[in-house]
A = this chain, B = another copy of it.
Amino acid sequence: MSSRSAFDPSGSDPSSFDPGPLIRKHRTADATLTVTAQGAPLAGQEVVVAQRRHKFLFGCIGGDFIPLANGDAPAPDQPAAAGSQEVADLWLDVFNFATLPFYWGWFEPERGRPDTERTLAAARWFADRGCVVKGHPLVWHTETAGWLMDLPNAEIAKAQVDRIRREVTEFAGVIDMWDVINEVVIMPIFDKYDNGITRICREMGRIPMVRMVFDAAREANPQATLLLNDFDMSAAYECLIEGLLEAGVEIGVLGLQSHMHQGYWGEEKTLATIDRFARYGLPIHFTETTIVSGHIMPEEIVDLNDYQIPEWPTTPEGEARQADEVVRHYKTLLSHPSVEAMTYWGLSDGGWLGAPGGFVRVDGTPKPAYEALRSLVKDEWWLPPTTMVTDDDGRVRFTGFLGEYEVSAGGRTAVFTLDEPGGATVEAAI
């Protein structure tokens, strides 16, 4: 598949891939900004232009901060530092996109007593800090509500639809983006344990199931961005997507998981994967990415959940490798125009599988990967406050990453955005 990627089709050294020109092409605008004051161009004046926000969604899961956002004591099952204000500051300095947990078995362990208020407080906490917030997931066979097992299938389906309507409605305006359904490829044939969602997916079939839950979410919030999400990057996911699109199910975004506990994918596999899913013309989100800073999980493990070890330490060599791979991975994703978001699966170590997959150690100190990512997001790909002088027509020219900017002069500030790559003519009235 390399012939369809940015690589030389002869399949030579992946290190020859240079994402730089593609990132500039797809992620930056050459802006001509006209600054006006009281309707007239502000000519020959010093102005300061500064980026405020990225358009690209640099995401991370945010569940660690639910206690902090609620003024509660840290959760007993997480490292003390992980939910601290200090780590929250690290989080907010790099990320602009939070994924919050809606696993049904956690969210509503007892039927009729959903954990709405605490989650809503956390969602508002992120939104107040300028973040886009996504809920994950509304439907999944894993971590689903145990009490579904007591219901006949028709009632499970009704409970699922009701649950979607409730959450999507109650969080609307704060959470307008949802991983609606997770891992549909395996859902009806999941055989590790019985659960209500596999039961109904097997009975209904995948496409009617997806249609049902997407319809419920869209009806509850017509403005919401609705994702299909899967870990299965094989032709199975392609076939599922093609079937859904043929059946007229309106998918907003394709979510691709990329937990790399068994090793970094590399540029070639990553681009080939994106290319295969980009051909459906839908935006792509990398929804769940992990790159470990310790030893790599053995490749013979098929279900990552089967790898349970007492301790999985982060190591200096692992941290150096992780930093390198993180930079390569983010650059690869930004080089492809279909990718609109990337969510890293946990800022702190000690999360899923106990893997050293975070950018921050259990003691709260940042790893090299954190610094490397911050330097991309807030330095290499960022316009710091920059003094420019307007020409006779009040114009300044600069190249910047897509996102929100401000321009200041004489103690006044105006905001503008760079929305599309390429040449951009924008105006800001101070």
Do B3 and A191 touch (CB < 8 A)? yes
- A185 proximity list for chain B (CB < 8 A): 235-236, 239
Asked if A206 is an interface residue, CB under 8 A from chain B, the answer is: yes
A14 beta carbon closer than 8 Å to chain B? no
Interface of A is mostly: helix
By a CB distance below 8 angstroms, the chain B residues around A240 are: 239, 242-243
Q: A234-B236, A235-B185 are in contact. Are A242 and B205 (CB under 8 A)?
A: yes
**How many interface residues does A have (CB within 8 Å)?**
29
Q: Are A191 and B234 in contact (CB under 8 A)?
A: no
Copies of this chain in the oligomer: 2
Which B residues touch A276, using CB under 8 A?
189
The reply on A1 being an interface residue by CB < 8 A is yes
A247 CA to B247 CA in the complex, in Å?
6
Q: Complex: how many Å from CA A307 to CA B317?
A: 38
Q: Are B238 and A235 in contact (CB under 8 A)?
A: no
Q: Are A239's CB and B206's CB within 8 A?
A: yes
Which one, B2, B236, B242, contacts A207 given CB within 8 A?
B242
Instruction: Please list 19 pairs of residues, one from A and one from B, whose beta carbons are closer than 8 Å in the complex, sorted by A's number.
Output: A1-B191, A3-B191, A186-B235, A188-B238, A189-B235, A189-B238, A189-B276, A205-B242, A205-B245, A205-B246, A207-B242, A207-B243, A208-B246, A234-B234, A236-B239, A242-B243, A243-B243, A243-B246, A246-B246
Residues of A in contact with B (beta carbons under 8 Å apart): 1-3, 185-186, 188-189, 191, 202, 205-208, 232, 234-240, 242-247, 276, 279
Q: A188-B238, A208-B246, A236-B238 are in contact. List 16 more A-B contacts (CB 8 A).
A: A185-B239, A186-B235, A189-B235, A189-B238, A202-B279, A205-B245, A205-B246, A206-B238, A206-B239, A232-B235, A234-B234, A234-B236, A236-B239, A239-B239, A242-B243, A246-B246
